[in-house]
Structure 1
Amino acid sequence: MGNYTSVPTVFHILPFSDKTDSTAYVFSFLTIIYLLGVFLNVMIVTLVFWDKRLHSPMYLFLCNLSFVDLCFTTTIIPKLLHIMSSGNHNVSFGQCFTQVYFFLLAGLSEDLLLFTMAYDRYVAICRPLHYHSLMSRKVCAVCVVSIWCYAAVNSCLVTVLTMKMSFCHSTTIHHFSCDAKALTRISCAGKELLYLVIYIEAFIIGFGPFLCSFWSYAKILQVISYKI
């Protein structure tokens, strides 16, 4: 524990283990994929926003999912492209943990949105007579706001716990972005509480919604097969 820095000012990101001659091809491929994803997601959000016929719960959730995907890729890809093009692998403390926060925010929001969309389809197919009462615009708006608020608070908690870790001799992150798990690999103290929170959330936010979504789609398939 003798030689470590608890609050580094700069992290060094190494997205690839070895230097490769195909960096230009990887850069071009990522740029095309990113721009295509941005274009498609922006198009979906714009269509849902302007077309009043699409102002229904299903498209409201789809619009939010497209926005989350847009945030997901924008949090990671532009900085990765900058690193690849400039050769400057340094990321400041503030930039690193800002990326951690928004990455977690997008990930948690997407997970909860997918669960909500599964429940929406379950109600629409298995409880069609109660759909408009169970999934009214007010209920959907409350669901969306609750998802974003919960994800924001939860991401803030995990980010703060990550910031409180002490980092050992190296501040080099062998990952394509500042990631909480990647940061624990170069931490020498303070990660026990973070691990505990991550494991609890993995069960509650990850495994729980997955089981509920699986059950919803199983019931949907059961109803469809019965009608056929």
Structure 2
Amino acid sequence: MEPGNNTQFSEFFLLGLSEEQELQPLIFGLFLSMYLITVFGNLLIILVTISDSHLHTPMYFFLSNLSFVDMCFTSTTIPKMLQNIENQSKVITYEGCIIQVFFYIFSAGLDDFLLTVMAYDRFVAICQPLHYKVIMNPRLCGLLLLVSWIMSAMNSLLHTLMVLQLTFCREVEILHFFCELNQMVQLACSDTFLNNMVMYLASVLLAGGPFAGILYSYSKIVSSIRRISSTQGKFKAFSTCASHLSVVFLFYCTSLGVYLSSAATHSSHSSATASVMYTVVTPMLNPFIYSLRNKDIKRALKRVCGIVYMCSPS
């Protein structure tokens, strides 16, 4: 294939999870179901936290934002994948690919920052309970959220602008179900040393940094819980952060699994399949983890369902 400037062509080809035609209806049905569950579950969390005054606390404020980001995360990739399967097409426009890259990196980064902020919230609640309302005031919560959005947007914009500077071959086949940054960089015909360096540094700083913050917060939380004398008190303290810890474990383990499987097999199809875990499965499971493990959410859901039932026509 002849190299050409990145403005001389208008489309890429997403090869998806499998090229076998008989599997396409199964993949379509599976991903459509997971997408609908993800949107409905996260939207329900947002509506419940907004409608119930008992949930107007920092923890649920950040949770509703996490649910919104999870909806955006899946909406960036899945609808286009479903459209291509329905139309029996593998095409995505150059502009559409760039947009996917931006919002994918933005959503993943914001997920990471929000999980870190939520870990800090649990740290203050357990380690400094008497000062919780003073420290986690609305101004600080808003500032933490704003910084998270700005940092994620700047990181995403940097990667996107650097991709725009690359030169691609005229027909680019991406062995993935969406325009993943690393795949695009590998397929470029021009020098990608700077792109690879920026990706590496961003991974260390913007993924490793928040993860280190989460580990530090939970090391302090564990130390505080161990100092509690009663078993019931220890259980109550741990239960307040069990849901968040489960989501953190799921997010980082699935993300790490993608890169380990990719490095071990050197197969793009294997990497694409593993990516399903943190791009689709994790956002789908988050609402269930918080609703099933959280008594406040369950009470709010029952209250909202009761109101809907009373307001519905007999």
The reply to whether TM is greater than 0.5 is yes
In 1, the alpha carbon distance for the partners of 2:142 and 2:65 equals: 11
Paired position in structure 2 for 1:127? 128
After the TM superposition, which residues 196-211 of structure 1 pair with which residues of structure 2 at under 5 Å, given as runs? 196-211=197-212
How many Å apart are 1:150 and its aligned residue? 1.8
In 2, the alpha carbon distance for the partners of 1:192 and 1:17 equals: 30
1:108-158 Cα shifts (integer Å, max 9, x gaps) = 100000011001101110111221222111100111112112211221111
How many Å apart are 1:62 and its aligned residue? 0.2
How many Å apart are 1:170 and its aligned residue? 3.8
Aligned residue for 2:5, secondary structure, equals coil
1:37/1:70 contact within 8 Å kept: yes
Paired position in structure 1 for 2:83? 82
Structure 2: state its 5+ residue gaps: 230-314
After the TM superposition, which residues 1-228 of structure 1 pair with which residues of structure 2 at under 5 Å, given as runs? 3-7=2-6, 8-168=9-169, 170-228=171-229
User: Structure 1 stretch 15-24 or stretch 160-169: which is displaced more?
Assistant: 15-24
1:46-102 Cα shifts (integer Å, max 9, x gaps) = 111222221110001000000010000000111011111111111111111011111
The letter for the 2-side match of 1:25 is L
Aligned residue for 1:193, secondary structure, equals helix
In 2, the alpha carbon distance for the partners of 1:132 and 1:107 equals: 29
TM-score (norm 2): 0.70
In 2, the alpha carbon distance for the partners of 1:34 and 1:146 equals: 29
Aligned residue for 2:19, secondary structure, equals coil
1:100/1:179 contact within 8 Å kept: yes
TM-score (norm 1): 0.95
In 2, the alpha carbon distance for the partners of 1:103 and 1:200 equals: 18
Identity of aligned residues (%): 34
Aligned residue for 1:123, secondary structure, equals helix
* RMSD between superposed Cα atoms in Å: 1.4
Aligned residue for 1:227, secondary structure, equals coil
How many Å apart are 1:22 and its aligned residue? 2.1
The letter for the 2-side match of 1:24 is P
In 1, the alpha carbon distance for the partners of 2:199 and 2:18 equals: 26
The letter for the 1-side match of 2:185 is T
How many Å apart are 1:169 and its aligned residue? 5.5
How many Å apart are 1:168 and its aligned residue? 2.8
User: Structure 1 stretch 49-58 or stretch 114-123: which is displaced more?
Assistant: 49-58
Aligned residues: 227
Q: Tell me: higher relative CO, structure 1 or 2? Use CA pairs within 8 A at least 6 residues apart.
A: 1
How many Å apart are 1:20 and its aligned residue? 4.3
